[in-house]
Structure 1
């Protein structure tokens, strides 16, 4: 019978925890970067229309 404290893949618990933390950090950085880009595009949107004179 297998020990419940070890993951099924055979990896050590510390390695699994580190991999999960890295994945979570990577996802958070990606979402944060996308939010910053979206905010910059939104902020610069009004400046582009002012140069055209259409507003």
Structure 2
């Protein structure tokens, strides 16, 4: 009986790992997308701007 329950537990563990990996990948893609959008809208400063007082 324990052999059958061991197989059932392993299947659930694999499914949980797959769902967790997908969630992590989605979070990383979302964070990278937001970062590039923020950089795109950031005002650019000229490299040799004149000094003003």
The TM-score range, normalised by the shorter chain, is 0.5 to 0.7
Structure 1 unmatched ranges of 5 or more: 1-10
Greater C-alpha radius of gyration: 2
Partner in structure 2 of residue 19 of structure 1: 9
Counterpart-to-counterpart distance in 2, 1:26 and 1:45: 29
- What's the CA shift for 1:54? 3.6
> How many residue pairs end up in the alignment?
45
TM-score normalised to the size of structure 2? 0.68
TM-score normalised to the size of structure 1? 0.66
Deviations 1:9-39 (A, max 9, x none): xx52221111000111111111110000001
The RMSD of aligned alpha carbons is: 1.9
